């Protein structure tokens, strides 16, 4: 069992003991998503795969927040934000923009990328290094800026 999965299991137990319903609901969502991957793909997800799942869950919630705010449903947006806060506890510390720029510059140098046509190569090089530590949308913008 991966260490991140163990940490999530322990956090779920702690939330049950503390009777923290909102936190427990979010942790159960995370655990069910991990279980879905285990069943669908017949694998034991490692920490990198779990981080990718958590990243995806945060992205989904950010999209939902934007939709709720557009519809004037601030209370639903607040629920989604609370879920993001819980999920982010299990992600590594976020990278600064300067750190991401360094990673992107190194990837461009390594891949020999010359223009926008090589963006896929650069993203493929950068993604494993920043997974769970940076928003891939922001990373994509930085790659475009450096290549363009």
Of 87, 93, 100, the residue nearest 133 (C-alpha): 93
Other C-beta atoms closer than 10 Å to the C-beta of 97 total 11
Q: What are the tens digits of pLDDT across the range 101-113?
A: 899 888 888 888 8
Are residue 84 and residue 101 in the same domain, yes or no? no
Range of the domain at 107: 97-147
Instruction: List CB contacts of 19: < 8 A, sequence separation 6 or more.
Output: none
Boundary-marking domain end, from 69, 88, 107? 88
Instruction: List CB contacts of 134: < 8 A, sequence separation 6 or more.
Output: 94, 95, 100
Q: Count up the domains in the chain and report the number.
A: 2
CATH number of the domain residue 127 falls in = 1.10.10.410
Helix, coil or strand: residue 42:
coil
The whole-number pLDDT of residue 41 equals: 93
Q: What are the tens digits of pLDDT across the range 105-142?
A: 888 888 888 878 888 888 888 888 887 788 888 888 88
Are residue 136 and residue 107 in the same domain, yes or no? yes
């Amino acid at each position: 069992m991966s260490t991140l999965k163990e940490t999530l299991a322990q956090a779920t137990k702690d939330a049950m003991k503390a009777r923290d319903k909102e936190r427990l609901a979010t942790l159960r969502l995370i655990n069910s998503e991990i279980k879905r991957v285990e069943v669908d793909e017949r694998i034991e997800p490692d920490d990198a795969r779990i981080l990718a799942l958590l990243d995806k869950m945060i992205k989904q919630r950010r999209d939902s927040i934007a939709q709720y705010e557009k519809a004037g449903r601030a209370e639903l947006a607040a629920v989604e934000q609370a879920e993001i806060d819980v999920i982010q506890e299990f992600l590594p510390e976020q990278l600064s923009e300067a750190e991401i720029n360094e990673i992107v510059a190194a990837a461009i140098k390594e891949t020999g990328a010359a223009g926008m046509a090589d963006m896929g190569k650069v993203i493929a090089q950068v993604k494993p290094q920043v997974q769970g530590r940076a928003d891939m949308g922001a990373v994509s913008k930085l790659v475009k800026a450096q290549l363009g």
